[in-house]
Structure 1
Amino acid sequence: MKIIIIGGVAGGATAAARIRRNDEQAEIIMVERGYYISFANCGLPYHISGIIAEREQLLVTSEATFRDRYQVDVRSHTEAIAIDRKAKTIRLRNLTTGDESDEAYDKLLLSPGAEPLRPKLPGIDSARVFGLRNIPDLDRIMTHLKQHSARRAVVIGGGFIGIEVAENLHEKGISTTLVEGADQILAPLDYEMAAIVHSHMHDKNIELYLSPKSCKHYTQ
């Protein structure tokens, strides 16, 4: 059995480890577009404030350690660019060399993760606008904070990550505003529950602006 997993962070790495425990003979290839696998993506905001003091604490395991422990062929900085479902092949591109190759598979597992939504708003391409999804994103934010005396920050997005980023910027002593295009943060929750968080953020002096008009205003 040959299994290819696309994505090597939380879901992909967990799946690879579980498959190996269930099948010692399977050939497992794990493909990750970034340089790092199995990092603590939920902990990224907490390095901004220093609650997680060392960057290395976010790196759950290295590519070499994962390969040796689970006998998984890990291919980092490699991107899946095409799938032929009929032939059961997938085309991979090495992002370092540009080389492309086809791999056959018996089973294909897709766990590519997500990308931050960057709304098409004026100013969105500014060098002072950051996304936060992975270690390189975090490195760019930390470098900027070290090189500049940031006094004020605006976070767009009132989901879990956005709230955590706002919390940790505030913890770092930066005046922080959270902007959400809906009428509440934490969309999966009922409004009554989200309102409790609204009140808590107000008590912490984190400004909160809701509605699409707020998003447009704060990117101009």
Structure 2
Amino acid sequence: MLSRRTVLGAALAWSALPRLAHAELSPDEVLRQAIALEASNPVFLGATPLPEDDARWAEARAYLDAAPTGTFPHKVARYFDQAVPESFQERWPDAYANPLIVWFFLETRTKPEGDLTAWCAAFVSWCLERSGVASARSAASAAYRSWGEAAWSNGEALPGKAQPGDIAVFRQLSDPAHGHVGFFMGVDPQSDGRIMVLGGNQRTQGAVRKSHAVTHVSMRTTGNLELHSIRTAPGLRPAATS
């Protein structure tokens, strides 16, 4: 019998991302092994995986394969916000796990750590790796608090040296193990103390509401979820300003 560690090790050895080497396992085999032990496999975030013969696995795979390469990470994120159907952009409300989100974890060698993580960090990591930028290789947003170097730190005036496409890292003051991470897209021109963030596992307000989805939203920089820092690294600049 395969252990959870065996399944995850096999899954994480294979990747379609440009900077990671291919192993012998195919995507289909990775999924078969993961689904076989879904009861103890954290990549499904507590939800039930689709049956392995469900056509939506192939559909999700096609969206990943069509994501742009040779560009900047925030533009990869923008592809998921603009070109992927909404049904694949967010956590599914029924019992099944969105296969696209499952692949974000599998392809970045990350896995959730209980209730301390959602999928915002896996999404950022996938977009970074797709662009050839080394990610934090963690499903925890807190891992990005020390990733790269700070272009802006808490207490400074925004935006400081931060540029669109850098990584915005939030922490939850009531429980510092929790937080959020996404792509900083600029200071909100319509509201003081807020920035525009493009990322996964976010929610929108207003006429069109999405929750736990890939969105481009305005977020407060203070409060219980406060902006910790905005990070940059080689590969994010220059030209990450459009």
Question: Over alpha carbons, which structure has the higher Rg?
Answer: 1
TM-score normalised to the size of structure 1? 0.30
Query: Which is richer in strand?
Result: 1
Query: Which is richer in helix?
Result: 1
